[in-house]
Structure 1
Amino acid sequence: MLDIQQIRADFPILSQKVNGKPLVYFDNGATSQKPQIVIDAEVKYYQEINANIHRGVHTLSQLATDAYEISRGKIKEHINAKFAHEVLFTSGTTHGINLVSNGFASILKPGDEVIVSSLEHHSNIVPWQMLCEKTGAVLKVIPIDENGELILEDFDALLSEKTKVVTLNHISNALGIINPIKYIIGKAHAVGAAVLIDGAQAVPHLKPDVQELDCDFYAFSGHKMCGPTGTGILYGKEEWLNKLPPYQGGGEMIKEVTFEKTTYADLPHKFEAGTPNIAGGIVLGTAIDYLNSIGFENIQEYENELLAYATKRLLEIEGLKIYGTGKNKASVVSFNIDGIHPYDIGSIIDKLGIAVRTGHHCAQPIMNFFCIPGTIRASFSFYNTKEEIDQMVEAVKKAQTMLS
């Protein structure tokens, strides 16, 4: 059992008021809040270590380098990568996806096919569209059903020897649907395709085992899992990272430079040009330590309780419809109320201290499928409570009365 009140005490922002009301923060799908231990670690870095890494013989540079590489090792263990050099620091999921899609520009040829799903965030659609425009490859899309679940029979039919890349999210940011990625990875590999998983919405709720999944790439962001903004990880299998060309050129990613020819550094530095977000990379390791101290099994169990409770309470509201009703979901409820624009609901309940996300959630194809302008999305974390859900439900009821 989690001591929720003790956990909440770790997060200073949760004690503040918004518009004169106690903050109820249900926008965790956009970014999570930060515990004091993470905030302190960021301050500590700048107060005690601040120096550039990998380049200096002086003491502070060595301390910074050691801390940065220790964090890489923590992340390697957390996702069960085979090697630490398969863990690349990025600025976030979007950066990781673009790194891979840009690399495949040198591999794909006209007529090759890339498969994405209908559930994708724009960050896992647009880079692949750009890649297809550049290479002449063709973009194929796995459709969804009315529950928001992928139609696997249609996915199977899309696969062929032309399929070179399959890319989809582990968990839908807009609907909370957990995709059957292991099945999809196995099927894709059977036709020789590489697989990239967008894990941005998964890593706050579970520990991905990249070797057990057998994915070729797995990208995620630090700020959604209690870490700093501007941090992320791209895991890539060693064989694939060796095949792809560097995404950026500059310092750190080189072995030798002359005006005639440049040779590139070994992994992971080949893909880490320039001065990175050193503090962020180090502190991401602190955030992962914090989450592991709570335990992901505990987090999942408690968040599933919150999801079930929120679903039940919200469905008590007349005219409310939930989008994404599949069997396997993370702690996200996306809903609308008949005849009322989601933005209007979100604006009113904000005045009551309730923070939710409204709009298309950078997933416009999903909204087009359901023929809606957007949804109200409440996304829960392990520091939220059932009492907060009750407050949200009452706020939504009040907004409905005002807008009807």
Structure 2
Amino acid sequence: MTTLDLDFVRSQFPAFKEPSLENWSFFENAGGSYACHQVIDRLNNYYRKTKLQPYHPFPASETAGQEMDQALVNLAAYLNVSEAEIDLGPSTSQNTYVLAQAFRATMQQGDEIIVTNQDHEANSGVWRRLADSGIIVREWRVDPESGYLNLTDLDNLLNDKTRLVTFPHCSNIIAHVNPVAEISTRAHAVGAKVVVDGVSYAGHGFPDVTALGADVYLFSLYKTYGPHQGLMVIRQETRDMLAYQGHFFNKDLAHKRFVPAGPDHAQVAASSGITEYFDAVHAHHFDQEATPAKRGQDVHDLFQAQEQALMAPLLEYIRGRNDLRLLGPDKPEERAPTISVVTKQDGRSVAEKLSKHGIMAAGGHFYSYRLFEGINLAPEAGALRVSFVHYTSPDDIQKLLKALDQVL
């Protein structure tokens, strides 16, 4: 099996050569990853050469528009969807707000939607507010012991009035990977649409959205080595049924439908750097030619294998202590590498102590307030969260374990 060349990977990220970050180990990737040089180079190039309104009939403007268009093509190919099904907005939180308004206009009083208490509030609160319009909101609740979502509980909520089911690909706290394809099949069986929050998953490798069966899939590019943009895949059948949200005279422009504020030109163009990075990783590790979707799957699996190897000693360490409560699975193959633990101290206090040992981590509820309540923990105290991705090194993990020994 191909193994990740960590030296090659880390050479793609300027942060690892930045003097001010020397001797620090980065464990807050769930809040935002380092940017690869391909993204930074594109952003710098755009601001130097094409920082103007795109799509006008002069060379710099034409180039700007072409770079923006190409970014959407590249991202769509990796996600195995069409370019017309991609939207880039200011953030996933903003995208979900606009999306909820688009869905609301298609619903009638008495229609039902299903939300979870496992979600980040960005993919929960906007849907719950639809109750003000007469929509019935049903909560798919986590198991209070494990924090997992149970499919039987979903079956008990689904009925012929269900119009929408929304849930995370994986929680930013529990990190258990939910069976998206199976949930999509169950929701579609009653005629419901499926909206998946992939923010806490996509940083560990882009998913094949078509294979997942989701009608909408959302995530944040600044957590996938890119600029601060939110990506939203809306499948064409769903796009056609949703209410338009932009200026009336742009109604026929596909990428204006659900981005009413207009795009951040430079950051959209720079998004191509993410797929260029994935291309570079694939070319370095694999000999064969492959479609973008296949390259995406290969890179996804490569990242996942590296992350599972990194998780193993940390999870073993946590199992060996009686003063830590791990939230989520203790098996690397069942979770993303976002490791949250409850300690005798509040999460932020532990993170502050870790920072004195060169560990960048965080503590709190991370906008999953309802989840903490659902597993009978105080959101105010939260948890210590250490989150990493494929570019994290085994030395970083050992440094973390030594630091935890000293501060707990």
Task: State the distance in 2 between where 1:164 and 1:364 align.
Answer: 25
Q: Are 1:170 and 1:201, in contact at CA under 8 Å, matched by a contact in 2?
A: yes
- Secondary structure of 1:202's counterpart equals helix
Superposed CA offset, 1:312-333 (max 9, x none): 1233334111011276211111
- Secondary structure of 1:271's counterpart equals coil
Name the residue aligned to 2:245: 247
Aligned ranges for residues 149-168 of structure 1 at < 5 Å? 149-168=148-167
Task: State the distance in 1 between where 2:399 and 2:306 align.
Answer: 19
Structure 1 pair 310/235, CA: closer, same or farther in 2 (3 Å)? same
Superposed CA offset, 1:66-88 (max 9, x none): 1111111001101111x311111
Q: Which among 325, 328, 351 is matched to residue 321 of structure 1?
A: 325
Superposed CA offset, 1:124-153 (max 9, x none): 1110112221x2112111122222221111
C-alpha deviation, 1:288, in angstroms: 2.3
C-alpha deviation, 1:98, in angstroms: 1.5
Q: Which runs of 5+ in 2 are unaligned?
A: 282-298
Structure 1 pair 275/152, CA: closer, same or farther in 2 (3 Å)? closer
Give the TM-score normalised by structure 1.
0.90
- Secondary structure of 2:200's counterpart equals coil
- Secondary structure of 2:199's counterpart equals coil
Verify: 1:286 aligned to 2:273, yes or no. Answer: yes
Name the residue aligned to 1:259: none
Superposed CA offset, 1:99-125 (max 9, x none): 221111212222211111221000011
Name the residue aligned to 1:8: 10
Name the residue aligned to 2:140: 142
Aligned ranges for residues 173-184 of structure 1 at < 5 Å? 173-184=172-183
Name the residue aligned to 2:359: 354
C-alpha deviation, 1:267, in angstroms: 1.6
Aligned ranges for residues 263-342 of structure 1 at < 5 Å? 264-273=251-260, 275-294=262-281, 295-325=299-329, 328-337=334-343, 339-342=344-347
Q: Are 1:147 and 1:326, in contact at CA under 8 Å, matched by a contact in 2?
A: no
- Secondary structure of 1:268's counterpart equals helix
Q: Are 2:163 and 2:193, in contact at CA under 8 Å, matched by a contact in 1?
A: yes
Superposed CA offset, 1:279-307 (max 9, x none): 11111111122134322221111011112
Residue identity matched to 1:227: G
User: Which of structure 1's runs of 4+ aligned residues deviate more than 6 A?
Assistant: none
Task: State the distance in 1 between where 2:238 and 2:309 align.
Answer: 39
Name the residue aligned to 1:122: 121
Residue identity matched to 1:316: G
Q: Are 1:177 and 1:326, in contact at CA under 8 Å, matched by a contact in 2?
A: no
Q: Which runs of 5+ in 1 are unaligned?
A: 256-263
Q: Are 1:148 and 1:326, in contact at CA under 8 Å, matched by a contact in 2?
A: no
Verify: 1:395 aligned to 2:395, yes or no. Answer: no
- Secondary structure of 1:201's counterpart equals helix
Task: State the distance in 2 between where 1:290 and 1:215 align.
Answer: 26
Task: State the distance in 1 between where 2:105 and 2:22 align.
Answer: 54
Name the residue aligned to 2:101: 102
Name the residue aligned to 2:187: 188
Name the residue aligned to 2:235: 237
- Secondary structure of 1:205's counterpart equals coil
Task: State the distance in 2 between where 1:104 and 1:15 align.
Answer: 45
Q: Are 2:38 and 2:276, in contact at CA under 8 Å, matched by a contact in 1?
A: no
Name the residue aligned to 2:391: 383
Structure 1 pair 316/181, CA: closer, same or farther in 2 (3 Å)? same
- Secondary structure of 2:118's counterpart equals coil
C-alpha deviation, 1:275, in angstroms: 4.3
